[in-house]
Copies of this chain bind each other. A is one copy, B any other.
């Protein structure tokens, strides 16, 4: 076992020990009170059934160790004037966090009716886990929280995201041993390889082995001590153990170990900062093995409760019917001796009050946990400088993400300490590698000589690459929540890996919008690239444009989706997204070479509108069209345009209007999303009765889901990815899913009244061309060059 060389293994004098224990008793009293009481908050009269809530909710089991850790961190904050925040991995143990927050006064400052007196405490208790009241997790409403802990798995990556580029910040994160079994958490321990002791702050994980999940033991609590120690050493940490249940011993031990850890952290930082040499440190961490439901009922009805899974939620129930249980509850609550802890008004006594830090040193009032307060707008270069020249539309080809990489390079340069780029080893693959001209990939693990040849590694790199979308997303979320900016790019199919994290972050932002005291934070900007239509060669597993279907279920207040068709629109959208706040911006743009459609002025106009008629591609000027060809997405637009060419060649009289959709939410009714077009505007684009062939980047049904209320909906025929894929060429993949030019042109012929018969021979011809393309692909392994290199001829 690592036995820290403790200068003093029992650093607390008798009075301090007594006070710290008193403070913890107060926290535990509050936690139990929140779960049980709706009245008689300090038990100044005997407990009666009507004092007890009708519905008992909340999780006692995790709470005591949370407040225990919180309080011990408070001691060190005061002692060393630390700048610290607190993340509760077991967020369902909110009573163990809300208690200390209330006691240090922040809760009352933000919610004055939860004042520091009897009335306030009564309300604080009653409203916990009560309709419209205080959540049972560390929700956005919780002062000092940047991690709700509703869905498990992200506490450690969240802790690191907060610590990056915050050299003075210490992030304490309690990790539950249940959460520790999840995949995202298991790999996030490796985040220590990405923490630069010079420019970044520190993370102090406290793995709380309370031994149980809901009904089951936890794996990490039931392996040998040696295995546990090896595991964390293997992860690159220096683990210290605080194990036991006797409060006095545990207070001394926790105080000694935590103090040792803080000194070690400061020593690592000082060494690195004074030498100017960042190296990967074996940072300290704490394994706190303590009983589940510590200090709660030892037994209930003959069953072990404290230190067992039965302590997980509400250890005692049925009080209103079971007098013995009520009695036991009363005894339990009184065992904390609330009368010693709170004064006549119900306020924590001054000796204890003095233990908490003051002002913004309180973890619940630290501005890093309300990062919008610290946020500085990004310095952005003029994105127009990075555009491509487009003299004629749909002629030149450029890799769409490449100029974005150059733009991001300069964003990194202009914002050297509050902007980072995230990607799962795909920034180069995704053609964003220009960034490396300014800043490399962050790398603190070992180096080899060959890294000099294009390795692009540096200990102070600002590009974060790890093959874990979970970890990246976690880092980025709290990097933003602590007031900074970022950009995340990922393969389209594998963005589904973080579906649930997207959901949780969108929910967090949605609630924040209702909290006036939470200052706006930068949006999370996610570029989805290496998209389905260019994953023909990787095959079926790499073809999934369905992340958008997940996004649209979340609140319209926080979600934005853009599908810029070319370089200039992508730059314009990226510039917009980087300036925005409180959104989850999703940008879909492929990395391969694509046709360029709009010059910069047109791109800006189109991006601003989000949807519009492309006059140069339409021939319905001054008249009602016979058909509307619509597109959304890069490849989808190319094929739709090529279809228009085919049609104009064969049916010069046919009036075709070409509409491009870049801001997907434009399609929804204005009542459903702030970006929704009015029906009048929608109808003026899509007509009220003409056939619309809509070529969509993703699953076709999504367009119907967004536009089903529109006047002309019954005439909108959407093409998109229909889950038909395997090893293929791009064009052949398009043909299989009927988003190719030939299928689209045939669609038009079938839909425009009168054209069906007149166009029969054209259809036959188009079908022949389509088959010829297939034959070519199956023979040569590539697409027919004249089709693959198609350009707009007009």
A→B interface (CB under 8 Å): 38, 53-55, 57, 92, 126, 129-137, 139, 148, 150-153, 178-179, 181-188, 190, 193, 213-219, 222-224, 226-236, 303-304, 307-310, 425-429, 441, 443, 445-448, 450-451, 453-457, 465-468, 470-471, 493-494, 496-497, 499-500, 503-504, 507, 510-511, 537-542, 544, 546, 549-550, 552-555, 699, 701-702, 704-705, 708, 713, 723, 726-729, 732, 777-778, 780-782
Known pairs A57-B537, A148-B541, A507-B540; list 19 more (Cβ under 8 Å).
A151-B541, A183-B187, A186-B190, A187-B187, A213-B425, A214-B429, A216-B465, A217-B448, A217-B455, A227-B233, A231-B233, A233-B234, A303-B453, A303-B454, A310-B454, A504-B541, A553-B699, A554-B723, A708-B713
Q: Are A129 and B429 in contact (CB under 8 A)?
A: no
Chain B residues whose CB sits within 8 angstroms of the CB of A467 once the complex forms: 152, 178-179, 181-182, 213, 218
A440 CA to B499 CA in the complex, in Å?
32
Min CB gap A525→B, angstroms: 21
| CB <8 Å contact, A230 and B222 | no
- Which 9 A-B pairs rank lowest in CB-CB distance, beginning with the nearest? A150-B541, A231-B234, A183-B183, A230-B234, A186-B187, A222-B445, A496-B500, A186-B186, A181-B467
In the assembled complex, 21 residue pairs joining A and B whose CB atoms fall closer than 8 Å, in A order, are: A131-B727, A131-B778, A132-B726, A150-B538, A150-B539, A151-B497, A182-B468, A183-B184, A183-B187, A183-B188, A216-B457, A218-B467, A219-B445, A227-B234, A231-B234, A307-B450, A308-B450, A553-B723, A702-B705, A704-B708, A708-B708
Which residues of chain B have C-beta atoms less than 8 A from A777's C-beta? 131
Say whether, besides A234-B234, A782-B54, A181 and B151 are in contact (CB < 8 Å). no
**Min CB gap A135→B, angstroms:** 5
Q: If A546-B550, A549-B550 touch, does A726 touch B231 (CB 8 Å cutoff)?
A: no
Residues of B within 8 A of A132 (CB): 726-728, 732, 778
Docked-complex contact A129 and B782, CB < 8 angstroms: no
Contact of A468 among B92, B139, B183, B537 (CB under 8 A): B183
**Residue of B whose beta carbon sits closest to that of A126:** B781
Supposing A231-B230, A453-B303, A546-B553 touch, asked if A54 and B780 sit within 8 A by C-beta, the answer is yes
Q: Which residue of B lies closest to A227 (CB)?
A: B234
Known: A135-B727, A546-B550. A234 touches B232 (CB 8 A): yes
With a cutoff of 8 Å between Cβ atoms, the chain B residues found around residue A426 in the complex are 214
Residues of chain B with a CB closer than 8 A to A308's CB = 450, 453
Residues on the B chain within 8 Å of A188, using CB: 183
Contacts of A713 in B (CB 8 A): 708
| Min distance, Cβ A123 to any Cβ of chain B, angstroms | 13
Contact A215 B425 (CB under 8 A): yes
- Min CB distance A151 to B, Å, is 6
Cβ contact within 8 Å between A443 and B184: no
Contact present for A131 and B732 (CB under 8 Å): yes
When distances are taken between beta carbons in the complex, the residues of chain B under 8 Å from A701 are: 552-553, 705
Q: Are B181 and A183 in contact (CB under 8 A)?
A: no
Known: A441-B216, A467-B181, A713-B708. A151 touches B38 (CB 8 A): no
On chain B, the residues within 8 Å of A214 by CB distance are: 425-426, 428-429
Which residue of chain B lies nearest to A507 when distances are taken between CB atoms in the complex?
Answer: B540
Inter-chain contacts of A228 with B (CB < 8 A): 234
Q: Pick from A218, A227, A732 the residue with the most CB of B within 10 Å.
A: A227
Contact partners of A304 in chain B: CB under 8 A: 450, 453
Q: A702's closest neighbor in chain B, by CB?
A: B705
How many angstroms from the CA of A82 to the CA of B193 in the assembled complex?
A: 41
B183 & A190 in contact (Cβ 8 Å cutoff): no
B234 and A219 contact, CB distance less than 8 A: no
Who on chain B is nearest to A153 by CB?
Answer: B183
Q: Contact at B726–A511, with CB atoms within 8 Å?
A: yes
> Does B555 contact A723, Cβ atoms closer than 8 Å?
yes
Query: Given A131-B777, A507-B540, A183–B471 Cβ distance below 8 Å?
Result: yes
Task: Report the separation of the CA atoms of residues A503 and B542 in the bound assembly, to the nearest whole angstrom.
Answer: 10
- A214, B701: Cα distance in complex, Å: 34
Tell me which residues across on chain B come within 8 A of A38, comparing CB atoms: 781
Q: Which residues of B contact A705 (CB under 8 A)?
A: 701-702, 704-705
CA distance A544 to B550 in the complex (A): 10
Give Cα distance in the complex from A447 to B132, angstroms.
42
How near does chain B come to A57, taking the closest CB pair, in angstroms? 5
Question: Please, how many angstroms separate the alpha-carbon atoms of A188 and B161 in the complex?
Answer: 25
Residues of chain B within 8 A of A503, CB atoms compared: 493, 496, 544, 546
A181–B235 CA distance with the chains assembled, in angstroms: 12
Contacts of A704 in B (CB 8 A): 704-705, 708
Query: Which residues does chain B contribute within 8 Å of A540, judged by CB atoms?
Result: 135, 139, 150, 507, 510-511
Whole-angstrom CA separation of A146 from B470 in the bound complex:
25
Chain B: minimal CB distance from A647 (Å)? 25
How many whole Å from A315's CB to the nearest CB in chain B? 14
Min C-beta distance of A493 to chain B, whole Å: 7
